[in-house]
Amino acid sequence: MADGFQEITTLTKEDFTSDQMVKWCPGCGDHAILSSFLKVLPELGVRKQDVVVVSGIGCSSRFPYYVKTYGFHGIHGRAAPLASGIKITNPDLHVWMITGDGDSLAIGGNHFIHLLRRNLDINVMLFNNKIYGLTKGQYSPTTPAGKKTKTSPQGTIEHPFNVGELAIGAQGTFFARTVDNNPKMMGEIMLEAGRHKGTSLIEILQNCVIFFNNVHADVASKETKDENQLFLRHGEPMIFGKENDKGIILRGTNLEVVKIGDHGITEKDLLVHDKYQRDPGIHVMLAKMAPPVFPIVLGVIRSVTDFTFESKMEQIIQYEIETSLIKTVDDLLNSGKTWEI
């Protein structure tokens, strides 16, 4: 101890690793996500006692047990209000909410969109395997139309949510997407999300080896990823392809895939990524891109600055403390119309 302050020490992945047995299926994408997260926490420079990991229900929601910080395992769909309450009560805490496509987009759908709209400084990692894994294979709000599952034996007849489109439509200030088999990319995005002031949402395309194996194979497999992934970097042209010879242009009001060199197309003609652009139009179009017409977009798609819910609430509380005539419970009880019996 020096001058009354705790001495700052350098933390490592091991400092954040709990002693609990990890109970996910062998080969589950959650293992890689956990490993990446444990590596990122020390880089954020946050004290262990200031980190809280909150979850709802689902395979992803076992996460708090495997991180050596404060944690709260909530009930189905209710991670967002729990995380919100924790953050509002103590704004200095670094809150991470772990959820799945069923937990957050079905029973927790309203909580999810209002968390994004309010823009509390909470980091959300949404594991999207497009199926209910913990409850053994029912279709979820992101399951592709026509998919046969235990609750859709003839194939689903619902339109699935696009997580990015939903998040940006709810006025989310930060949206990123990554895949569970690219730890380097996951780490970069988690680090940026953790430093964002406001609600940061990371959609992680995660594989469920039991109930929807290879669900993301068209974009995540070794054979297809080069042609079907576009990793965005701010200020750089949108280039992809095994030979880095394809790109995205804006023609009129639509995005279009082009080949560099054809019809005089050069890198200067390609769309340059601006993650800080406040108008969400291009960001929504990027979030909706998917094979076979387009590559899927990975990386930080949107990152804009706005006030956070808890910062405004703190201002209101401070103002009331300074200006209110009621300072004690007695003041309150004796205020207004009173009388004696």
User: Residue 77 sits in which domain range?
Assistant: 13-221+294-306
DSSP letters for 23-76 = -S-TT-THHHHHHHHHHHHHHHT--GGGEEEEE-SSGGGGGGGGBSSEEEE--T
CB 301 within 8 A of CB 283: yes
pLDDT of res. 187: 97
Task: Say how far apart CA 230 and CA 217 lie, in whole Å.
Answer: 15
CB 182 within 8 A of CB 156: no
Q: Which residue positions in the chain have pLDDT lower than 70?
A: 1-9
Strands 70-73 and 51-55: parallel
For the chain, percent helix, then strand, then coil, each to nearest 5? 35, 20, 45
| Residue 159 is assigned to a structural domain of this protein | yes
CATH number for the domain spanning 30: value is 3.40.50.970
The phi and psi torsions of 333 (rounded to 5 degrees) equal -65, -30
| Residue 20 is assigned to a structural domain of this protein | yes
Beta strands (DSSP E) in the chain are 51-55, 70-73, 94-100, 122-128, 174-179, 200-205, 229-231, 239-240, 246-251, 254-259, 296-303
pLDDT of res. 285: 98
pLDDT of res. 1: 39
pLDDT of res. 162: 97
| Residue 43 is assigned to a structural domain of this protein | yes
| Residue 120 is assigned to a structural domain of this protein | yes
| Residue 162 is assigned to a structural domain of this protein | yes
- Residue 66, classified by CB atoms within 10 Å of its CB into exposed (0-12), middle (13-18) or buried (19+), is buried
| Residue 8 is assigned to a structural domain of this protein | no
DSSP state of 103: I
User: Percent of the chain at pLDDT above 70?
Assistant: 97
Beta-bridge partners for 124: 97, 201
Q: How is residue 309 written in tokens?
A: 């819910």
pLDDT of res. 4: 41
To the question of pTM greater than 0.75 for the whole model, the response is yes
Tell whether the torsion through CA atoms of 297, 67, 102 and 302 is positive or negative: negative
| Residue 228 is assigned to a structural domain of this protein | no
DSSP state of 269: G
pLDDT of res. 341: 81
- CB proximity list for 182: less than 8 A, separation 6 or greater: none
Domain count, the chain: 1
Task: Say how far apart CA 167 and CA 18 lie, in whole Å.
Answer: 32
| Residue 194 is assigned to a structural domain of this protein | yes
Using one digit for the tens of pLDDT, what is the confidence trace for 181-213? 999 999 999 999 999 999 999 999 999 999 999
pLDDT of res. 54: 98
Tell whether the torsion through CA atoms of 77, 51, 178 and 26 is positive or negative: negative
